[in-house]
Amino acid sequence: MIKDSILDILKTTGAVITDSHFVLTSGRHSGTYINKDAMYPHTMYASEVGRMFAEKTKDLSIDVVAAPALGGIILSQWTAYHLSKLKNKDILGVYTEKTLEKSQIFTRGYDKLVRGKNVLIVEDLAATGGSARKVIESVREHGGNVVSVGVMVNRDPEHINEQSMGAPFFALGDLFVESFTAEDCPLCKENVPINTDVGHGRKFLEEKQG
């Protein structure tokens, strides 16, 4: 059965994890983690998320959907699929890839597909908004027009918005996740073990030991 909201979908697929000690993509620490990778294998739900993005943007002029790899590849494909059905036109799904310098760039000739086109950018989670902003930069650098940016979940609604993104912005759902720097992390101070199964805890510990 299709769920009514993005948070329902994430909870149903076990993607929202609490009561542990996580290291987020940003490097900050938190007691809550949204493991979007737990949702992606469930194609019915992944398709439903794409449909949600498509419904939100169906009245916009869109030629291409772009997203940052890796998880964003799935989102861009499903969103483009449902938009194509809703608008009865072929809307492309492309993605950027992260460089060693942490930029998001188009490879595989995808830069040519966004040039002169109206582009919708989709992303799974916004904790700092950094990845989405880098995709915005890449689209504009190659002559594309960013019509909107959508995320599955905005983890910091107070600071991540249209102004901070520099483009029209929306989220399918909001879930504030309190986070801390490693130096200020209360979980670290209480010696709560870092979760190495999900998130970036393993990498954090390896770098700390190194």
Residue-wise pLDDT tens digits, 41-79:
999 999 999 999 999 999 999 999 999 999 899 999 999
CA distance 137 to 201: 29
Asked if residue 137 is part of any domain, the answer here is yes
Instruction: Count up the domains in the chain and report the number.
Output: 1
Say which amino acid occupies 164.
S
Asked if residue 64 is part of any domain, the answer here is yes
Asked if residue 205 is part of any domain, the answer here is no
Asked if residue 204 is part of any domain, the answer here is no
Asked if residue 93 is part of any domain, the answer here is yes
Residue-wise pLDDT tens digits, 141-167:
999 999 999 999 998 888 999 999 999
Beta-sheet strand order (sheet of 29-34): 16-23, 29-34, 179-180
pLDDT band at 2 (very low <50, low <70, confident <90, very high): very low
The pLDDT score that the predictor gives to residue 176 is 85
pLDDT band at 4 (very low <50, low <70, confident <90, very high): low
Asked if residue 201 is part of any domain, the answer here is no
CA distance 202 to 209: 11
Residue-wise pLDDT tens digits, 66-123:
999 998 999 999 999 999 999 999 999 999 999 888 889 999 999 999 999 999 999 9
C-alpha distances out from residue 58 to 54, 102, 141, 161, Å: 6, 31, 25, 21
Asked if residue 156 is part of any domain, the answer here is yes
The pLDDT score that the predictor gives to residue 209 is 85
pLDDT reading at 197 higher than 70: yes
Asked if residue 208 is part of any domain, the answer here is no
Domain range enclosing 23: 6-195
Q: Residue 44 is part of a domain; what is its CATH number?
A: 3.40.50.2020
Helices first, then strands: H and E counts in the chain: 8, 9
Please state the pTM of the whole predicted model.
0.89
